[in-house]
């Protein structure tokens, strides 16, 4: 009798990756699952803490995990994860000098030995460097306020990058009267239009930009990577794409997605 033909079930035979994501977000799990190669599974813990998710101690000797991070780390500890990502771009950019390293070190202490830990800010920077991008056109979600926008510019400049422009994606006209800080509460994050984002990037990308960086793990965008790269002739890096790329490398790099940008062919 032949063995049964089992249907695919996304079992993490190659690797399991853990994500800390914003509590109300729906994009990261969808995009990671869409991109993940066979044998890679994605597991999320949700965080409601303000940014940065691991605040500095008063003497800046290190950071302490928010309650949600600590609980998530406890849950992840028995899952045998290969890598864990602090998948919150805003925490990286507002955390200040040294935050990525400090947060990774503190979270690693709360996870089993050998678990790789990274942050989305670090992943984006590494992906840009690997792609040869030094002057990115930086695109941010509509819900990013002016302070976080300025912090993002400072963050990438500190990483040795020279953004040609920072652009806040403009949602449909019916959201025009809603301030950035209210867009999540009003539900704009679950009504994102990929075609609108795509068209705005093509229209706004400066000619001297040597690539595009889409910041924010909650920004729906990975489906537009390939058509944007084809139209612009330049690398396109997105938050979730960069972190998956980094996790696959940390896990051994024996599989890569197709159709989600040149980054995965490096």
- CA dist 146 and 240 (Å) reads 22
1 within domain boundaries:
no
pLDDT band, very low/low/confident/very high, at 155 (cuts 50, 70, 90): very high
Host domain of residue 76:
15-122+242-265
Average pLDDT, the chain: 96
pTM comes to 0.97
Q: For residue 30, is pLDDT > 90?
A: yes
Q: What is the pLDDT of residues 205-245, one digit of tens each?
A: 999 999 999 999 999 999 999 999 999 999 999 999 999 99
With b for 16 or more beta-carbon neighbours within 10 A and e for fewer, the 161-171 pattern comes to: bebbebbbbeb
Q: Are residues 130 and 224 in the same domain?
A: yes
* 206 close to 165: Cβ distance less than 8 angstroms: yes
Tokens of 98: 């040294």
What average pLDDT does range 70-89 have in this prediction? 97
* 144 close to 171: Cβ distance less than 8 angstroms: no
pLDDT band, very low/low/confident/very high, at 166 (cuts 50, 70, 90): very high
pLDDT band, very low/low/confident/very high, at 254 (cuts 50, 70, 90): confident
pLDDT of residue 250: 96
Q: Are residues 196 and 114 in the same domain?
A: no
3 within domain boundaries:
no
Q: Are residues 234 and 128 in the same domain?
A: yes
What average pLDDT does range 168-196 have in this prediction? 96
CATH of the domain at 115: 3.40.50.12500
Q: Are residues 224 and 249 in the same domain?
A: no
- CA dist 112 and 85 (Å) reads 14
Q: Are residues 26 and 68 in the same domain?
A: yes
Q: Are residues 59 and 79 in the same domain?
A: yes
pLDDT band, very low/low/confident/very high, at 170 (cuts 50, 70, 90): very high
Number of folded domains that form the chain: 2
* 175 close to 199: Cβ distance less than 8 angstroms: no
7 within domain boundaries:
no
């Amino acid at each position: 009798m032949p063995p049964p033909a089992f249907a695919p079930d996304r079992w993490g035979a190659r690797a399991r990756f853990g994500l800390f994501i914003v509590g109300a977000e729906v994009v990261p799990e969808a995009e990671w699952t869409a991109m993940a190669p066979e044998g890679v599974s994605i597991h999320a813990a949700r965080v409601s803490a303000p940014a940065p998710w691991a605040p500095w101690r008063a003497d800046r000797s290190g950071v302490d995990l928010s309650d949600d991070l600590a609980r998530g780390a406890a849950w992840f500890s028995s899952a045998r994860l290969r890598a864990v990502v602090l998948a919150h771009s805003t925490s990286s950019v507002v955390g200040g000098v040294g935050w990525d390293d400090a947060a990774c070190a503190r979270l690693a202490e709360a996870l089993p030995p050998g678990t790789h830990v990274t942050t989305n800010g670090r992943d984006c920077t590494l992906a840009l460097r690997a792609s040869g991008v030094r002057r990115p056109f930086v695109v941010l979600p509509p819900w990013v306020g002016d302070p976080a926008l300025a912090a993002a510019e400072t963050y990438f400049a500190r990483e040795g990058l020279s953004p040609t422009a920072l652009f806040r994606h403009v949602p449909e006209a019916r959201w025009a009267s809603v301030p950035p800080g209210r867009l999540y509460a009003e539900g704009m994050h679950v009504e994102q239009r990929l075609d609108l984002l795509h068209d705005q990037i093509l229209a706004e990308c400066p000619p001297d930009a040597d690539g595009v960086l889409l910041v924010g793990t909650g920004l729906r965008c990975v489906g537009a990577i390939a058509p944007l790269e084809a139209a612009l002739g330049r690398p396109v890096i997105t938050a979730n794409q960069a972190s998956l790329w980094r996790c696959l490398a940390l896990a051994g790099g024996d599989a890569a997605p197709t159709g989600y940008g040149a980054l995965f062919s490096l």
